[in-house]
Chain A
């Protein structure tokens, strides 16, 4: 059957509401009896709390309560319970909360927050992850190693700042390097950066006298949040209700938990009142979650013909003051730092370290951009050493049918067509010849390939409920969060396809409510189209089965003989039909007698067979899907100003099936620009005193229209993939993964300089060009 909805660029179902300002975000919500919260932040990176004087603040107009961490014994987490909702006896980063003022208005709360006086004994601090891991570094958590944790997954080194050491040992890399004709190696840095969704984080929490609580939050993980809060307050999860409205961008920075435990803790002191906190932009930088923060080195060995023999890598992550959101990123960075290539021997050590900086969590790409910056750059270097093109090296080593990734998983054809992606990018770039350098500009071209295989909890699943109404329309509910990526639209497309009904008849509700919405692990890892789509197929399949059973009863035949077409059951002989609407509440005869079950079903999907990596080798079936791609660009460097203009950026991903080609393109164009920001502009800087300093726009620069590439080409390949719904695969984070190595490879081509540290700003380029000329 030809597809009616899947594969079509239908307009987004949420676009009209967003164009009119009607779409509701957390900051737009007002509840009765609502207090506004303002947080007092540490302001120093590391110190013992000597005293906190709240008396002046408490006496100020409108102030209801000032909450501090005094006496708080709660620690929250999902796999590593190391964080209190606000600082208790010491502060571990400058943005940490030490007190929360609750007042009637925001201005009152802000004024009173200024009147809170905290005294500290300053402690030595550490920001650099390599220094943090070294002996003698100031110890940030004395209890590292004794915190409650999931022992199979999180591997701390007690007595140090290393709260997670992930090691991967495939084969014997010593032997692999002995076999190599040539090696390349380098040191790299991917600094701490902000996901910078334009909507700041917010939450509203209300405790009731009956012991239940409700929270409205800008959060990608409502059920994780629910379980974390239930665990923290030791109440049943059924008494915690989480509501998620539209999110104004997430990019990982709103996943797991960030500010919600703080807001909930404060609200627990004023039951009956709602407590609302919306972060300032500055706080988004200092006190929500940030991303990346990697320093690493990598070495690759190869034969003369370009065949890889071994890879060795070490990565240190400045994961900030607390580790629960950082450790899985570290593990995934290790899994995937090889890029989409086969290496017979791999040794990787990743160290997640506590540092006195903002907390690192998920950021689009989740460890992949950090590791693949290194492999992507080194392949470019290797190519020159061997007198080959980077493309030739890639083609020799691409993961393809029967080859084994670093985890020991065997790749299938359905996992994707890397040579096809690379060819598409080369073709797009070759359409315009590379301009010749002149007095003003240097031109260069760079290319890299990528893979992404998401890290999931082994039990991660999506569920979907479908309910058919008497007019034949259907509610399709999942708990995939709409944060801009377009899940609501693809859900509706896929449900309409599965039920064979018009899209106008399908309504997928954007607001998630953990009391009523079907369970979902969380909206991360680009899994909603893929995993949610399979859950939709399951639920819709059940609906059709129920309808056919009822129709068979009506027609007194076997259900297997009843066909289903275009929203109707069809009689095997007469061609008579019964629509979904007629069967929605069972079939009712003219006298009212009704038979058959109402048309409602719950479907689910879990990527099968996922396990946590083996603690010794780091290998195992820890990844359940792959998406491959290649990217490349042509750029221009201004010799006078050091400014970089990307003239053409080309991307090709094997997405299995583009459910909505227009929104898929939007994911790519947006991801490329976000990745370009990381490559050329973005980095959180710290003062000598250890305080983050460029914590607002424009001090922290993210790309504007004029910074964006002049042209983008997006090619979506569709290799059939029986694991995906209608073949579809994850693709939303992927466009960011290879952008930095692509741009740095192109900069090398243009300038001859090997850049290895992000971001490569105009100043750095000018300095490098000057140094080259001086030589």
Chain B
């Protein structure tokens, strides 16, 4: 059985991979029990499975596990360690950007990758990033508002 060594949410992990095609999303969800990462399409289209890999937002459903050797992965579970919401999470709550919540962790992780590197991201950049995700519930209005609110709060 192939073995994967990588760091997840700051903790070094060793995972034995099943033979065949194994994606990062299933390592996180099935092997490590990190079910906050959601799978909505499995083909890189909906963004629900987005995690931060070496500082960049990726769709974990299309990221082969073996490509993650030595990588540093952050999932939604890392953001509220200790029970205090990250400003992006709090902004989603406050702006009413959450309905069913299935798209939420992926969106938050993509905005995390963006705003931690580029706190001055313009509205256009925010829209560009959110546009990589599908949400069937909200009509996106409140998600864009949450992203703006998060940007504002993270500058303080």
Contacts and interface: CB of A to CB of B under 8 A. Distances in A.
B68 interface: no
A20 interface: yes
B99 A669 contact: no
Interface string B24-38: 001001000111111
A463 interface: no
A670 B139 contact: yes
Interface string A16-27: 111111111101
Interface string B74-88: 011101100001000
Nearest first, the 6 A-B pairs at minimum CB distance are A21-B36, A18-B101, A484-B100, A248-B102, A669-B139, A484-B99
Contacts of B39: 27, 200
Nearest to A16: B93
Interface of B: 18-22, 26, 29, 33-43, 45-46, 48, 75-77, 79-80, 85, 89-90, 92-94, 96, 98-105, 108, 127, 130-131, 133-144
B52 to A, nearest CB: 13
17 contacts: A12-B98, A15-B93, A15-B101, A19-B108, A24-B35, A27-B29, A30-B33, A198-B48, A248-B38, A249-B137, A484-B99, A484-B100, A665-B96, A670-B136, A674-B139, A703-B140, A708-B140
B36 A198 contact: no
A156 to B, nearest CB: 34
Given A105-B18, A702-B134, A248 B100 contact: yes
A706 interface: yes
B99 A666 contact: yes
Contacts of A169: none
B62 to A, nearest CB: 13
Given A19-B98, A20-B76, A705-B144, 17 more contacts: A9-B96, A14-B101, A15-B93, A19-B80, A19-B105, A20-B89, A21-B76, A27-B35, A196-B136, A198-B100, A200-B39, A666-B139, A669-B138, A669-B140, A669-B142, A696-B45, A705-B130
A21 B96 contact: no
Contacts of A673: 139-140
Contacts, number: 172
Interface string A485-516: 11000000000000000000000000000000
Contact of A698 (B45, B77, B90, B136): B45
Nearest to B99: A484
Contacts of A106: 26
A187 to B, nearest CB: 30
A702 B136 contact: yes
B136 A280 contact: no
Contacts of B108: 19
A460 to B, nearest CB: 24
B101 A246 contact: yes
A522 B102 CA distance: 22
B5 to A, nearest CB: 21
A21 B139 contact: no
A712 B100 contact: no
B79 to A, nearest CB: 7
A626 to B, nearest CB: 24
Given A28-B35, A199-B40, A247 B134 contact: no
A456 to B, nearest CB: 23
A366 interface: no
Contact of B43 (A28, A663, A665, A697): A697
Contact of B18 (A107, A198, A698): A107
A18 B107 CA distance: 12
Interface residues of A, number: 59
B138 A20 contact: no
A408 interface: no
A697 B103 CA distance: 15
Contacts of A703: 140
Contacts of A27: 29, 35, 38-39
A198 B40 contact: yes
Contact of A697 (B34, B101, B134, B138): B134
B1 to A, nearest CB: 12
* Residue in A19, A27, A199, A673 whose Cβ sees the most chain B Cβ within 10 Å: A19
A111 interface: yes
Contact of A669 (B48, B76, B141): B141
* Residue in A15, A111, A696 whose Cβ sees the most chain B Cβ within 10 Å: A15
Contacts of B22: 107
A638 to B, nearest CB: 18
Contacts of A12: 93, 96, 98
Given A21-B76, A705-B144, A198 B85 contact: no
A20 B92 contact: no
B89 to A, nearest CB: 4
Interface in A660-681: 662-663, 665-666, 668-674
B127 A705 contact: yes
Contact of A712 (B40, B102, B134, B141): B141
A673 to B, nearest CB: 4
Contacts of A19: 80, 85, 89-90, 92-93, 98, 101, 104-105, 108
A662 B96 contact: yes
A88 B106 CA distance: 41
B21 A107 contact: yes
A57 B5 CA distance: 33
* Residue in B42, B77, B94, B101 whose Cβ sees the most chain A Cβ within 10 Å: B101
